[in-house]
Structure 1
Amino acid sequence: MTKVSKWKALLTPITPDIYSRNDILAGTAITSCAMIGIFVASIILGLVEITNIGFHLKTFVYYTGLTLLSSGYEELLFRCILLTILVKVFKKPWFAILITSMYFGYVHLDNDHATLLSAFSNGLGGVMYGLAFIYTRKIWLPWALHFAWNYVQAPILGFPLSGFKVEGILRLKLLDHSWLSGGLYGPEGGIVGIAFRFIVIMLIVLWIRKSRGGLKHNIIQPYHTQG
Protein backbone atom coordinates (compact mmCIF):
# COMPACT_ATOMS: atom_id res chain seq x y z
CA MET A 1 0.00 0.00 0.00
CA THR A 2 1.41 3.41 -0.98
CA LYS A 3 1.56 6.44 1.33
CA VAL A 4 -1.29 8.03 -0.61
CA SER A 5 -3.37 4.87 -0.20
CA LYS A 6 -2.70 4.77 3.55
CA TRP A 7 -3.80 8.37 3.98
CA LYS A 8 -6.89 7.72 1.86
CA ALA A 9 -7.76 4.74 4.04
CA LEU A 10 -7.42 6.83 7.20
CA LEU A 11 -9.58 9.62 5.81
CA THR A 12 -12.28 7.36 4.36
CA PRO A 13 -14.53 7.43 7.48
CA ILE A 14 -14.64 11.25 7.51
CA THR A 15 -14.89 11.75 3.75
CA PRO A 16 -18.50 12.46 2.69
CA ASP A 17 -20.14 10.14 0.16
CA ILE A 18 -23.48 10.11 -1.69
CA TYR A 19 -25.28 8.98 1.47
CA SER A 20 -23.76 11.42 3.97
CA ARG A 21 -26.27 14.27 3.63
CA ASN A 22 -29.27 11.99 4.07
CA ASP A 23 -27.52 10.12 6.88
CA ILE A 24 -27.07 13.39 8.76
CA LEU A 25 -30.72 14.30 8.28
CA ALA A 26 -31.92 10.81 9.23
CA GLY A 27 -29.66 10.56 12.28
CA THR A 28 -30.75 13.95 13.54
CA ALA A 29 -34.42 13.07 13.04
CA ILE A 30 -34.17 9.64 14.70
CA THR A 31 -32.64 10.73 18.00
CA SER A 32 -34.51 14.06 18.09
CA CYS A 33 -37.80 12.19 17.89
CA ALA A 34 -36.58 9.63 20.44
CA MET A 35 -35.65 12.33 22.94
CA ILE A 36 -38.97 14.12 22.40
CA GLY A 37 -40.62 10.75 23.04
CA ILE A 38 -38.67 10.44 26.30
CA PHE A 39 -39.79 13.94 27.27
CA VAL A 40 -43.46 13.22 26.55
CA ALA A 41 -43.28 9.91 28.44
CA SER A 42 -41.62 11.67 31.39
CA ILE A 43 -44.40 14.28 31.50
CA ILE A 44 -47.13 11.63 31.29
CA LEU A 45 -45.51 9.51 34.01
CA GLY A 46 -45.10 12.54 36.27
CA LEU A 47 -41.31 12.37 36.30
CA VAL A 48 -40.74 16.03 35.40
CA GLU A 49 -42.65 19.27 35.07
CA ILE A 50 -41.93 22.46 33.11
CA THR A 51 -41.32 25.42 35.41
CA ASN A 52 -40.22 28.06 32.90
CA ILE A 53 -39.19 28.74 29.31
CA GLY A 54 -36.30 31.00 28.37
CA PHE A 55 -33.92 31.62 25.50
CA HIS A 56 -30.48 33.22 25.72
CA LEU A 57 -28.68 33.45 22.39
CA LYS A 58 -25.12 33.32 23.75
CA THR A 59 -25.90 30.29 25.90
CA PHE A 60 -27.67 28.57 23.01
CA VAL A 61 -24.75 29.19 20.61
CA TYR A 62 -22.25 28.03 23.22
CA TYR A 63 -24.02 24.73 23.86
CA THR A 64 -24.58 24.20 20.13
CA GLY A 65 -20.85 24.43 19.44
CA LEU A 66 -19.92 22.42 22.52
CA THR A 67 -22.32 19.60 21.68
CA LEU A 68 -21.17 19.46 18.06
CA LEU A 69 -17.52 19.28 19.10
CA SER A 70 -17.93 16.83 21.98
CA SER A 71 -20.09 14.39 20.00
CA GLY A 72 -17.77 14.64 17.01
CA TYR A 73 -14.72 14.03 19.18
CA GLU A 74 -16.25 10.96 20.82
CA GLU A 75 -17.34 9.50 17.48
CA LEU A 76 -13.91 10.09 16.00
CA LEU A 77 -12.22 8.43 18.97
CA PHE A 78 -14.59 5.56 19.78
CA ARG A 79 -15.91 4.67 16.33
CA CYS A 80 -13.54 5.94 13.62
CA ILE A 81 -10.40 4.90 15.49
CA LEU A 82 -11.07 2.35 18.23
CA LEU A 83 -13.93 0.45 16.59
CA THR A 84 -12.17 0.30 13.22
CA ILE A 85 -8.99 -1.04 14.83
CA LEU A 86 -10.87 -3.72 16.77
CA VAL A 87 -12.78 -4.86 13.69
CA LYS A 88 -9.52 -5.26 11.77
CA VAL A 89 -7.92 -7.12 14.72
CA PHE A 90 -10.76 -9.49 15.59
CA LYS A 91 -12.48 -9.68 12.15
CA LYS A 92 -15.84 -9.73 13.95
CA PRO A 93 -17.80 -6.44 13.82
CA TRP A 94 -20.30 -7.54 16.49
CA PHE A 95 -17.48 -8.32 18.93
CA ALA A 96 -15.79 -4.99 18.22
CA ILE A 97 -19.08 -3.16 18.85
CA LEU A 98 -19.54 -5.05 22.12
CA ILE A 99 -16.07 -4.15 23.39
CA THR A 100 -16.24 -0.47 22.41
CA SER A 101 -19.77 -0.15 23.80
CA MET A 102 -18.77 -1.65 27.16
CA TYR A 103 -15.84 0.75 27.31
CA PHE A 104 -18.07 3.66 26.29
CA GLY A 105 -20.38 2.85 29.19
CA TYR A 106 -17.46 2.39 31.57
CA VAL A 107 -15.86 5.79 30.92
CA HIS A 108 -19.17 7.49 31.76
CA LEU A 109 -19.10 5.98 35.27
CA ASP A 110 -16.84 8.86 36.28
CA ASN A 111 -19.65 11.35 35.62
CA ASP A 112 -21.62 12.85 38.49
CA HIS A 113 -24.65 10.82 39.61
CA ALA A 114 -23.62 7.85 37.43
CA THR A 115 -24.94 4.38 38.28
CA LEU A 116 -24.52 0.90 36.87
CA LEU A 117 -27.85 1.42 35.12
CA SER A 118 -26.65 4.64 33.51
CA ALA A 119 -23.44 2.89 32.42
CA PHE A 120 -25.55 0.16 30.81
CA SER A 121 -27.57 2.83 29.03
CA ASN A 122 -24.44 4.57 27.79
CA GLY A 123 -23.23 1.18 26.61
CA LEU A 124 -26.42 0.86 24.57
CA GLY A 125 -25.60 4.29 23.19
CA GLY A 126 -22.30 2.80 22.07
CA VAL A 127 -24.23 0.04 20.31
CA MET A 128 -26.40 2.68 18.58
CA TYR A 129 -23.45 4.64 17.28
CA GLY A 130 -21.37 1.54 16.60
CA LEU A 131 -24.04 -0.02 14.39
CA ALA A 132 -24.45 3.27 12.54
CA PHE A 133 -20.71 3.42 11.88
CA ILE A 134 -20.28 -0.24 11.00
CA TYR A 135 -23.08 -0.22 8.45
CA THR A 136 -22.14 3.08 6.79
CA ARG A 137 -18.34 3.08 7.21
CA LYS A 138 -18.69 6.81 7.84
CA ILE A 139 -18.77 9.12 10.85
CA TRP A 140 -21.76 11.14 9.64
CA LEU A 141 -24.69 8.99 10.78
CA PRO A 142 -23.30 8.20 14.26
CA TRP A 143 -22.23 11.82 14.72
CA ALA A 144 -25.70 13.09 13.81
CA LEU A 145 -27.34 10.53 16.11
CA HIS A 146 -25.03 11.41 18.98
CA PHE A 147 -25.31 15.18 18.50
CA ALA A 148 -29.10 15.29 18.29
CA TRP A 149 -29.53 12.93 21.27
CA ASN A 150 -27.44 15.21 23.48
CA TYR A 151 -28.59 18.51 21.96
CA VAL A 152 -32.32 17.93 22.21
CA GLN A 153 -31.92 16.35 25.64
CA ALA A 154 -30.14 19.24 27.35
CA PRO A 155 -29.83 22.61 25.53
CA ILE A 156 -33.40 22.35 24.22
CA LEU A 157 -35.46 20.26 26.65
CA GLY A 158 -33.45 21.13 29.76
CA PHE A 159 -32.73 17.60 31.04
CA PRO A 160 -29.42 16.90 32.81
CA LEU A 161 -26.91 15.48 30.35
CA SER A 162 -24.92 12.49 31.61
CA GLY A 163 -24.74 13.99 35.08
CA PHE A 164 -24.10 17.58 33.95
CA LYS A 165 -26.60 20.36 34.54
CA VAL A 166 -27.23 22.32 31.35
CA GLU A 167 -29.31 25.47 30.91
CA GLY A 168 -31.95 24.52 28.35
CA ILE A 169 -34.72 26.45 26.66
CA LEU A 170 -37.14 24.57 28.90
CA ARG A 171 -36.60 24.71 32.65
CA LEU A 172 -37.54 21.40 34.20
CA LYS A 173 -38.16 20.33 37.77
CA LEU A 174 -37.24 16.71 38.39
CA LEU A 175 -40.05 15.06 40.34
CA ASP A 176 -38.51 11.59 40.37
CA HIS A 177 -34.93 10.57 41.19
CA SER A 178 -35.33 6.83 40.82
CA TRP A 179 -34.13 4.24 38.34
CA LEU A 180 -37.22 5.03 36.23
CA SER A 181 -36.27 8.59 35.30
CA GLY A 182 -32.50 8.56 35.70
CA GLY A 183 -32.71 11.45 38.17
CA LEU A 184 -29.86 13.93 38.18
CA TYR A 185 -27.90 11.88 35.67
CA GLY A 186 -30.54 12.57 33.03
CA PRO A 187 -33.12 10.44 31.23
CA GLU A 188 -30.48 8.32 29.51
CA GLY A 189 -29.71 6.93 32.97
CA GLY A 190 -33.22 5.58 33.54
CA ILE A 191 -35.53 2.87 32.27
CA VAL A 192 -37.55 5.27 30.11
CA GLY A 193 -34.41 6.39 28.30
CA ILE A 194 -33.16 2.82 27.92
CA ALA A 195 -36.46 1.77 26.32
CA PHE A 196 -36.04 4.49 23.71
CA ARG A 197 -32.44 3.38 23.08
CA PHE A 198 -33.83 0.10 21.73
CA ILE A 199 -36.26 2.00 19.53
CA VAL A 200 -33.38 4.04 18.14
CA ILE A 201 -31.40 0.87 17.37
CA MET A 202 -34.39 -0.50 15.45
CA LEU A 203 -34.77 2.75 13.51
CA ILE A 204 -31.07 2.78 12.63
CA VAL A 205 -31.34 -0.70 11.14
CA LEU A 206 -34.48 0.28 9.23
CA TRP A 207 -32.76 3.39 7.87
CA ILE A 208 -29.73 1.41 6.70
CA ARG A 209 -31.99 -1.11 4.95
CA LYS A 210 -33.98 1.67 3.28
CA SER A 211 -31.04 3.83 2.21
CA ARG A 212 -28.63 1.04 1.21
CA GLY A 213 -31.09 -1.63 0.10
CA GLY A 214 -30.00 -4.03 2.84
CA LEU A 215 -27.38 -4.69 5.50
CA LYS A 216 -23.83 -5.39 4.39
CA HIS A 217 -21.64 -8.01 5.96
CA ASN A 218 -17.94 -7.67 6.79
CA ILE A 219 -18.32 -4.01 6.00
CA ILE A 220 -15.14 -2.55 7.40
CA GLN A 221 -12.45 -3.84 5.09
CA PRO A 222 -8.81 -2.84 4.62
CA TYR A 223 -8.39 -0.35 1.79
CA HIS A 224 -6.98 -2.13 -1.24
CA THR A 225 -5.24 -0.58 -4.18
CA GLN A 226 -2.65 -1.56 -6.72
CA GLY A 227 0.86 -0.26 -6.66
Structure 2
Amino acid sequence: MTKVSKWKALFGPITPDIYARNDILAGIGITSFAMMGIFVASIILGLVEITNVGFHPSTFAYYTGLTLLSSGYEELVFRCILLFILVKVFRKPWFAILITSIYFGYVHLNNDHATVLSAFSNGLGGVMYGLAFIYTRKIWLPWALHFAWNYVQAPILGFPLSGFKVEGILKLKLLDDSWLSGGLYGPEGGIVGIAFRFIVITLIVLWIRKSRGGLKYNFNQSYNLQANFKESHYISRNNQV
Protein backbone atom coordinates (compact mmCIF):
# COMPACT_ATOMS: atom_id res chain seq x y z
CA MET A 1 0.00 0.00 0.00
CA THR A 2 1.39 3.41 -0.98
CA LYS A 3 1.68 6.31 1.44
CA VAL A 4 -1.24 8.05 -0.30
CA SER A 5 -3.37 4.91 0.01
CA LYS A 6 -2.55 4.64 3.71
CA TRP A 7 -3.70 8.22 4.31
CA LYS A 8 -6.91 7.56 2.34
CA ALA A 9 -7.59 4.50 4.48
CA LEU A 10 -6.92 6.47 7.67
CA PHE A 11 -9.14 9.44 6.85
CA GLY A 12 -11.58 7.56 4.62
CA PRO A 13 -14.33 7.16 7.26
CA ILE A 14 -14.47 10.92 7.90
CA THR A 15 -14.08 12.01 4.27
CA PRO A 16 -17.40 13.06 2.68
CA ASP A 17 -18.51 10.95 -0.26
CA ILE A 18 -21.33 11.09 -2.81
CA TYR A 19 -23.77 9.68 -0.23
CA ALA A 20 -22.85 11.91 2.73
CA ARG A 21 -25.53 14.58 2.33
CA ASN A 22 -28.41 12.12 1.90
CA ASP A 23 -27.07 9.91 4.69
CA ILE A 24 -27.10 12.87 7.07
CA LEU A 25 -30.66 13.78 6.13
CA ALA A 26 -31.81 10.16 6.37
CA GLY A 27 -30.12 9.67 9.75
CA ILE A 28 -31.70 12.79 11.21
CA GLY A 29 -35.08 11.78 9.81
CA ILE A 30 -34.96 8.20 11.08
CA THR A 31 -34.11 8.89 14.71
CA SER A 32 -36.22 12.06 14.89
CA PHE A 33 -39.19 9.98 13.76
CA ALA A 34 -38.35 7.29 16.33
CA MET A 35 -37.97 9.73 19.20
CA MET A 36 -41.24 11.45 18.34
CA GLY A 37 -42.81 8.00 18.35
CA ILE A 38 -41.39 7.37 21.83
CA PHE A 39 -42.78 10.71 22.98
CA VAL A 40 -46.28 10.03 21.63
CA ALA A 41 -46.26 6.52 23.11
CA SER A 42 -45.13 7.91 26.47
CA ILE A 43 -48.00 10.42 26.49
CA ILE A 44 -50.57 7.80 25.49
CA LEU A 45 -49.34 5.33 28.12
CA GLY A 46 -49.39 8.02 30.81
CA LEU A 47 -45.65 7.88 31.45
CA VAL A 48 -45.09 11.65 31.23
CA GLU A 49 -47.06 14.86 30.95
CA ILE A 50 -46.19 18.28 29.56
CA THR A 51 -46.09 20.92 32.29
CA ASN A 52 -44.69 23.90 30.40
CA VAL A 53 -43.09 25.12 27.18
CA GLY A 54 -40.15 27.48 27.06
CA PHE A 55 -37.42 28.46 24.63
CA HIS A 56 -34.17 30.09 25.69
CA PRO A 57 -31.89 30.78 22.69
CA SER A 58 -28.58 30.71 24.59
CA THR A 59 -29.42 27.44 26.37
CA PHE A 60 -30.72 25.86 23.18
CA ALA A 61 -27.58 26.90 21.28
CA TYR A 62 -25.39 25.45 24.04
CA TYR A 63 -27.10 22.06 23.95
CA THR A 64 -27.07 22.06 20.15
CA GLY A 65 -23.31 22.44 20.08
CA LEU A 66 -22.80 20.01 22.96
CA THR A 67 -24.94 17.33 21.32
CA LEU A 68 -23.18 17.71 17.97
CA LEU A 69 -19.75 17.42 19.57
CA SER A 70 -20.56 14.59 21.99
CA SER A 71 -22.27 12.42 19.37
CA GLY A 72 -19.48 13.13 16.89
CA TYR A 73 -16.82 12.26 19.44
CA GLU A 74 -18.49 8.98 20.39
CA GLU A 75 -18.94 7.96 16.76
CA LEU A 76 -15.33 8.81 16.01
CA VAL A 77 -14.05 6.71 18.93
CA PHE A 78 -16.47 3.78 18.90
CA ARG A 79 -17.13 3.41 15.18
CA CYS A 80 -14.38 5.11 13.13
CA ILE A 81 -11.58 3.83 15.36
CA LEU A 82 -12.62 0.88 17.52
CA LEU A 83 -15.13 -0.77 15.18
CA PHE A 84 -12.98 -0.10 12.11
CA ILE A 85 -9.96 -1.74 13.77
CA LEU A 86 -11.95 -4.77 14.95
CA VAL A 87 -13.37 -5.33 11.46
CA LYS A 88 -9.87 -5.20 10.00
CA VAL A 89 -8.51 -7.59 12.65
CA PHE A 90 -11.27 -10.21 12.83
CA ARG A 91 -12.73 -9.87 9.30
CA LYS A 92 -16.16 -10.53 10.83
CA PRO A 93 -18.33 -7.38 10.87
CA TRP A 94 -21.06 -8.97 13.01
CA PHE A 95 -18.49 -9.91 15.67
CA ALA A 96 -16.96 -6.42 15.63
CA ILE A 97 -20.42 -4.85 16.02
CA LEU A 98 -21.23 -7.22 18.90
CA ILE A 99 -18.04 -6.40 20.79
CA THR A 100 -18.29 -2.61 20.34
CA SER A 101 -22.00 -2.62 21.19
CA ILE A 102 -21.46 -4.54 24.42
CA TYR A 103 -18.71 -2.12 25.35
CA PHE A 104 -20.87 0.87 24.37
CA GLY A 105 -23.59 -0.35 26.72
CA TYR A 106 -21.07 -1.09 29.46
CA VAL A 107 -19.51 2.40 29.53
CA HIS A 108 -22.98 3.93 29.98
CA LEU A 109 -23.45 1.97 33.22
CA ASN A 110 -21.42 4.71 34.90
CA ASN A 111 -24.18 7.24 34.17
CA ASP A 112 -26.63 8.31 36.87
CA HIS A 113 -29.74 6.11 37.23
CA ALA A 114 -28.29 3.48 34.86
CA THR A 115 -29.65 -0.08 35.03
CA VAL A 116 -28.96 -3.37 33.31
CA LEU A 117 -31.94 -2.61 31.05
CA SER A 118 -30.56 0.81 30.11
CA ALA A 119 -27.16 -0.78 29.36
CA PHE A 120 -28.91 -3.28 27.07
CA SER A 121 -30.67 -0.39 25.34
CA ASN A 122 -27.43 1.51 24.87
CA GLY A 123 -25.93 -1.70 23.49
CA LEU A 124 -28.74 -1.75 20.92
CA GLY A 125 -27.79 1.84 20.17
CA GLY A 126 -24.31 0.53 19.44
CA VAL A 127 -25.86 -1.96 17.01
CA MET A 128 -27.77 0.87 15.31
CA TYR A 129 -24.72 3.02 14.80
CA GLY A 130 -22.47 0.04 14.09
CA LEU A 131 -24.66 -1.20 11.25
CA ALA A 132 -24.84 2.31 9.82
CA PHE A 133 -21.04 2.53 9.85
CA ILE A 134 -20.32 -0.97 8.56
CA TYR A 135 -22.57 -0.64 5.54
CA THR A 136 -21.68 2.95 4.63
CA ARG A 137 -18.01 2.85 5.73
CA LYS A 138 -18.47 6.47 6.79
CA ILE A 139 -19.21 8.45 9.95
CA TRP A 140 -22.02 10.54 8.47
CA LEU A 141 -25.01 8.22 8.84
CA PRO A 142 -24.18 6.99 12.38
CA TRP A 143 -23.31 10.53 13.49
CA ALA A 144 -26.61 11.89 12.15
CA LEU A 145 -28.55 9.03 13.77
CA HIS A 146 -26.79 9.53 17.10
CA PHE A 147 -27.12 13.32 17.05
CA ALA A 148 -30.83 13.42 16.24
CA TRP A 149 -31.64 10.65 18.76
CA ASN A 150 -30.06 12.69 21.56
CA TYR A 151 -31.08 16.12 20.28
CA VAL A 152 -34.78 15.45 19.83
CA GLN A 153 -34.89 13.44 23.07
CA ALA A 154 -33.48 16.08 25.39
CA PRO A 155 -33.03 19.69 24.13
CA ILE A 156 -36.32 19.55 22.22
CA LEU A 157 -38.65 17.13 24.04
CA GLY A 158 -37.17 17.60 27.50
CA PHE A 159 -36.55 13.94 28.39
CA PRO A 160 -33.54 13.02 30.56
CA LEU A 161 -30.61 11.98 28.37
CA SER A 162 -28.82 8.84 29.54
CA GLY A 163 -29.22 9.88 33.16
CA PHE A 164 -28.46 13.58 32.61
CA LYS A 165 -31.12 16.23 33.11
CA VAL A 166 -31.28 18.61 30.16
CA GLU A 167 -33.37 21.77 29.84
CA GLY A 168 -35.60 21.16 26.83
CA ILE A 169 -38.15 23.25 25.02
CA LEU A 170 -40.86 21.04 26.54
CA LYS A 171 -40.95 20.68 30.31
CA LEU A 172 -42.00 17.16 31.23
CA LYS A 173 -43.17 15.64 34.50
CA LEU A 174 -42.28 11.98 34.97
CA LEU A 175 -45.37 10.00 35.98
CA ASP A 176 -43.76 6.56 35.86
CA ASP A 177 -40.38 5.48 37.21
CA SER A 178 -40.40 1.87 36.07
CA TRP A 179 -38.79 -0.40 33.49
CA LEU A 180 -41.46 0.76 31.02
CA SER A 181 -40.49 4.43 30.86
CA GLY A 182 -36.80 4.25 31.76
CA GLY A 183 -37.37 6.57 34.71
CA LEU A 184 -34.77 9.23 35.43
CA TYR A 185 -32.35 7.64 32.99
CA GLY A 186 -34.60 8.67 30.12
CA PRO A 187 -36.79 6.80 27.62
CA GLU A 188 -33.85 5.01 26.04
CA GLY A 189 -33.54 3.11 29.32
CA GLY A 190 -37.07 1.68 29.15
CA ILE A 191 -39.05 -0.86 27.16
CA VAL A 192 -40.74 1.80 25.02
CA GLY A 193 -37.37 3.18 23.95
CA ILE A 194 -35.98 -0.30 23.32
CA ALA A 195 -38.92 -1.16 21.07
CA PHE A 196 -38.18 1.90 18.93
CA ARG A 197 -34.49 0.91 18.78
CA PHE A 198 -35.56 -2.12 16.74
CA ILE A 199 -37.66 0.11 14.48
CA VAL A 200 -34.60 2.31 13.91
CA ILE A 201 -32.46 -0.73 13.03
CA THR A 202 -35.06 -1.80 10.46
CA LEU A 203 -35.20 1.68 8.93
CA ILE A 204 -31.39 1.85 8.75
CA VAL A 205 -31.25 -1.41 6.81
CA LEU A 206 -34.03 -0.24 4.47
CA TRP A 207 -32.25 3.06 3.84
CA ILE A 208 -28.92 1.40 3.07
CA ARG A 209 -30.55 -1.05 0.68
CA LYS A 210 -32.42 1.77 -1.04
CA SER A 211 -29.45 4.15 -1.31
CA ARG A 212 -26.77 1.53 -2.14
CA GLY A 213 -28.82 -1.10 -3.90
CA GLY A 214 -27.89 -3.72 -1.31
CA LEU A 215 -25.87 -4.45 1.83
CA LYS A 216 -22.10 -4.47 1.26
CA TYR A 217 -19.40 -4.24 3.90
CA ASN A 218 -16.08 -5.02 2.13
CA PHE A 219 -13.81 -2.38 3.66
CA ASN A 220 -10.88 -3.32 1.44
CA GLN A 221 -12.83 -2.44 -1.70
CA SER A 222 -14.70 0.57 -0.33
CA TYR A 223 -12.66 3.29 -2.00
CA ASN A 224 -12.40 1.38 -5.27
CA LEU A 225 -16.16 0.96 -5.27
CA GLN A 226 -16.61 4.68 -4.69
CA ALA A 227 -14.15 5.57 -7.46
CA ASN A 228 -15.80 3.10 -9.86
CA PHE A 229 -19.23 4.56 -9.09
CA LYS A 230 -18.03 8.09 -9.78
CA GLU A 231 -16.34 7.00 -13.01
CA SER A 232 -19.38 5.08 -14.29
CA HIS A 233 -21.67 7.97 -13.31
CA TYR A 234 -19.41 10.41 -15.16
CA ILE A 235 -19.31 8.20 -18.27
CA SER A 236 -23.07 7.74 -18.18
CA ARG A 237 -23.68 11.48 -18.02
CA ASN A 238 -21.29 12.14 -20.89
CA ASN A 239 -22.97 9.51 -23.04
CA GLN A 240 -26.28 11.23 -22.53
CA VAL A 241 -24.99 14.54 -23.87
> What TM-score, normalized by structure 2, do the two folds share?
0.91
Deviation of 1:5 (Å): 1.8
Amino acid at match of 1:130: G
Q: Look up the match of 1:165.
A: 165
Deviation of 1:149 (Å): 0.0
How many residues matched? 224
Tell whether the 8 Å contact from 1:162 to 1:189 is kept in structure 2 after alignment. yes
* Aligned pairs for 1:142-221 within 5 A: 142-216=142-216, 218-221=217-220
Deviation of 1:126 (Å): 0.1
CA distance in 2, matches of 1:2, 1:221: 14
Deviation of 1:219 (Å): 2.3
CA distance in 2, matches of 1:7, 1:39: 43
Deviation of 1:138 (Å): 0.3
Amino acid at match of 1:65: G
CA distance in 1, matches of 2:124, 2:222: 29
Deviation of 1:3 (Å): 2.2
Q: Look up the match of 1:34.
A: 34
Larger Rg: 2
Identity %: 88
Q: Which runs of 4+ in 1 moved over 3 A?
A: 222-225
Q: Look up the match of 2:98.
A: 98
1:111-161 deviation per Cα after TM superposition (whole angstroms, max 9, x unaligned): 000000000000000000000000000000000000000000000000000
CA distance in 2, matches of 1:219, 1:109: 33
Q: Look up the match of 2:114.
A: 114
1:73-123 deviation per Cα after TM superposition (whole angstroms, max 9, x unaligned): 000000000000000111000000000000000000000000000000000
- Residues 1:141 and 2:141 are matched in the alignment: yes
CA distance in 1, matches of 2:16, 2:83: 19
Q: Look up the match of 2:232.
A: none
Tell whether the 8 Å contact from 1:52 to 1:170 is kept in structure 2 after alignment. yes
Q: Look up the match of 2:58.
A: 58
CA distance in 2, matches of 1:123, 1:222: 28
Amino acid at match of 2:142: P
CA distance in 2, matches of 1:94, 1:36: 29
> What TM-score, normalized by structure 1, do the two folds share?
0.97
Tell whether the 8 Å contact from 2:137 to 2:222 is kept in structure 1 after alignment. no
SS state at 1:221 partner: helix
Tell whether the 8 Å contact from 1:9 to 1:223 is kept in structure 2 after alignment. no
Amino acid at match of 2:146: H
Query: Which structure is richer in relative contact order (CA contacts within 8 A, separation 6 or more)?
Result: 1
More helix by share: 2
Q: Gaps (5+ residues) in structure 2?
A: 225-241
What do you get for the CA RMSD once the two structures are aligned? Answer: 1.2
